[in-house]
Amino acid sequence: MRIHATEIVAVVAITTGILSVSDAFSFPTTAVDVGDTVFARIRDIDDKVDCLSLIEHVGGFIKSIFSKAHPSIPVLDRTRKLYEKNKWIGMNGPDKVRRAEAEELTKESMMKFRDQGASPSLKHVADFVEKSPGSGFVAAYAERLKLSKREPTATFGRTILEHLPHVWLKKGLSADGVFHELQFEFGRLDFIKLTLLEEFIKLSNAERSGDDTLMKTLLKFYGDYDLHNLLASYVTKSGTKKTANQRLRELRADWAERSITIDDVEMG
Burial of residue 67 (number of CB atoms within 10 Å: 0-12, 13-18, 19+): middle
SS3 string, 21-79, reads HHHHCCCCCCHHHHHHHHHHHHHHCCCCCCHHHHHHHHHHHHHHHHHHHCCCCCHHHHH
Q: pLDDT value at position 88? A: 31
CA distance 244 to 233: 8
Angle made by CA atoms 87, 90, 95, in degrees to the nearest 5: 55
- Enumerate residues 6+ apart whose C-beta is below 8 A from 201: 215, 218, 230, 231, 234
Would you say 49 and 90 are in contact if contact means Cβ atoms under 8 Å apart?
A: no
Amino acid (one-letter) located at 94: P
CA distance 131 to 139: 9
Long-range contacts of 253-260 (CB under 8 A, 24+ apart): 255/212, 255/215, 258/212, 260/212, 260/216
Phi, psi dihedral angles at 3 (to 5 degrees)? -110, 125
- Closest to 125 measured CA to CA, from 15, 202, 261, 212: 15
The pTM assigned to this predicted structure is 0.20
Residue 98: which H helix or E strand, with range? helix 96-115
- Closest to 255 measured CA to CA, from 214, 225, 212, 205: 212
Provide the 3-class DSSP secondary structure of residue 152: coil
Q: pLDDT value at position 142? A: 42
- How do the pLDDT tens digits run along the chain, 268 residues long? 222 334 344 444 444 444 444 444 443 333 334 444 444 444 344 333 333 344 444 444 444 433 333 333 333 344 344 434 443 322 233 344 444 443 344 344 334 433 443 333 333 333 333 343 333 344 444 444 444 444 333 233 333 443 444 444 444 544 445 444 444 444 333 333 444 444 444 544 444 444 444 444 444 444 444 444 444 444 444 444 454 455 556 655 655 565 544 444 332 2
Q: Rg of the chain's alpha carbons, rounded to an integer?
A: 20
Q: Can you give the length of the chain in residues?
A: 268
Which letter, b or e, does each residue of 179-197 get, where b requires 16 or more Cβ atoms within 10 Å of its Cβ? bebbeebbeebebbbbbbb
- Closest to 229 measured CA to CA, from 213, 244, 218: 244
Neighbours of 116 (CB within 10 A): 9
